[in-house]
Amino acid sequence: MTRDSIKNKHAVIVGAGMAGLLAAAALSDTFGKVTIIEKDSLPESPQVRNGVAQGAHVHTLLGYGVEAMEALLPGLMADIYSAGAVKIRRNFDIWFHDAIGPTPVRDVGILTPSVTRPLLEHVTRQRVLALANVNLRDATKVLNFEIDQQGGVSGIQVLADDIYESISADLVVECSGRASHLSSWLAEHGFGEAPSQRLKILMGYTSGFFRMPDDLAENGKACLMLAVPPDYRAAYLTPVDGNMWLATMYGRGKDTAPLDPEGFVTWAKGLPHPVIHDMLVRAEPISDFKRYKIPYGIWYRYDQMPNFPRGLIPLGEALTSFNPMYGQGMSLAAGQALSLREAIAGGLDADMSARYFEGCKTLNGVGWSVMETRDFAYDCTSGDRPADLEARWQSAAAIRQLAETDSEVHSLSVRVTHLLESPSELAGPEIIEKTKRPS
């Protein structure tokens, strides 16, 4: 099926979160009609909603995610900033502390928004629904996928206002997130077991909003503090829309921050550096505190299934649900949406899903590698340890130490972290030689 022939076809997207919205943007210039189905009743203003359990917590866009979202929806970042997001110049407007200590403060040319999830989703949804061929049906629960006589997915069954309905589609994109039942559905309907890579991480995070003290309200600085193994505690404190601080405390196992303001701030005393605790002591808590737990990271390897059904694409956390602490989720979803757009450009044929999976495999693999490299530093993590783990740690430590004095290496390492460069760029002979020189 050619690109032109898709103009009269219908794509259905399950889920109106960020992954679903970006998928809709990716498909809007090829499909004649794109319908987003969402189980929540969506608010008319930015609000945390039931279907986004992590919506009250810090959300980070990596540099790659910013570029990918701009490619899908040109001008989106300007809209987000106009709505109140705070501009963060990496690594200049963010004080970053890792196992070695505070990293050098340098502007590496990457601009990312610090924004609450409800505002980010609201602005993105407005942009997507302004597209002429995209429509949304909220308060509608997806019950099942439909299968045609050739064994492909041909639509969905939904329930809305106590009325059952069948919606035909030429492509269904599954974006229902971590709660997706796609893998079990495939097994139940004879397509086989979906292979997966799993890493038990036992990550939990607690978040709340604070009113900044007057003398710090204008500096626009964020603080990101990684845990120093064997300790589990990490934190992110950042200015967001509404002239507030959003504070997220990350813990592992049973070591998670309390939900009461006093306990939350006291817990921050256990962080590797006192700066975040000292700032929060001077701030005023202005919200309830929320907790969210991620027991494991998972990559569903649908690309390895010999009988994956035609007419179906998983995207976002329905495909890759990694440790959210590393800020990869929305950026991976944006990259997957770009891969979907490129796969569709080759036609809606039997090989389309294979093109899609191949197109985003490298990006997904880099995200997975980041998670396992960092999370295996903690003794509560379990799963298949990569054979080169020790070598990864040694290389990362050497690069990090070199970045103290070498601004070019520091900039490159940040670009790699933000998925803008391949990790292989840090393994070049010149950089390896630099790491061997006496400091």
Q: What is the pLDDT of residues 399-415, one digit of tens each?
A: 999 999 999 999 999 99
Note the pLDDT tens digit of each residue in 336-348.
999 999 999 999 9
Can you list the alpha helix ranges (DSSP code H) found in 102-232? Answer: 117-129, 182-188
pLDDT given for residue 3 in this prediction: 53
- Residue 35: other Cβ atoms inside 10 A: 20
Q: What contacts 208, CB < 8 A, 6 or more positions away?
A: 246, 247, 261, 264, 285, 287, 288, 289, 290
What string of DSSP letters covers 386-431? Answer: -TTHHHHHHHHHHHHHHHTT-HHHHHHHHHHHTTSS-GGGGGSHHH
- Residue 8: other Cβ atoms inside 10 A: 10
- Residue 329: other Cβ atoms inside 10 A: 26
pLDDT given for residue 281 in this prediction: 96
- Whether a cis peptide bond, with omega within 30° of 0, leads into 230 is yes
Count CA atoms closer than 13 A to 401's CA, side-chain side: 13
Q: Cα separations (Å) of 47 from 116, 117, 174, 175?
A: 9, 9, 23, 20
Helix (H, G, I), strand (E, B) or coil at 357: helix
- Residue 224: other Cβ atoms inside 10 A: 24
Residue 326 phi, psi dihedral angles, 5° rounding: -90, 5
Note the pLDDT tens digit of each residue in 12-40.
999 999 999 999 999 999 999 999 999 99
* CB 213, CB 285: distance < 8 Å: no
Note the pLDDT tens digit of each residue in 252-263.
999 999 999 999
Q: Which two tokens stand for residue 243?
A: 């002239």
Beta-ladder partners of 159: 141, 164
Confidence of residue 4 (pLDDT cuts 50, 70, 90): low
Note the pLDDT tens digit of each residue in 268-320.
999 999 999 999 999 999 999 999 999 999 999 999 999 999 999 999 999 99
Whose structure tokens read 């990569």? 386
Helix (H, G, I), strand (E, B) or coil at 239: strand
∠ CA 88-425-23, rounded to 5°: 55
Per DSSP, 358 falls in state H
Q: Cα separations (Å) of 359 from 217, 243, 363, 412?
A: 43, 39, 8, 24
- Section 111-137 average pLDDT: 97
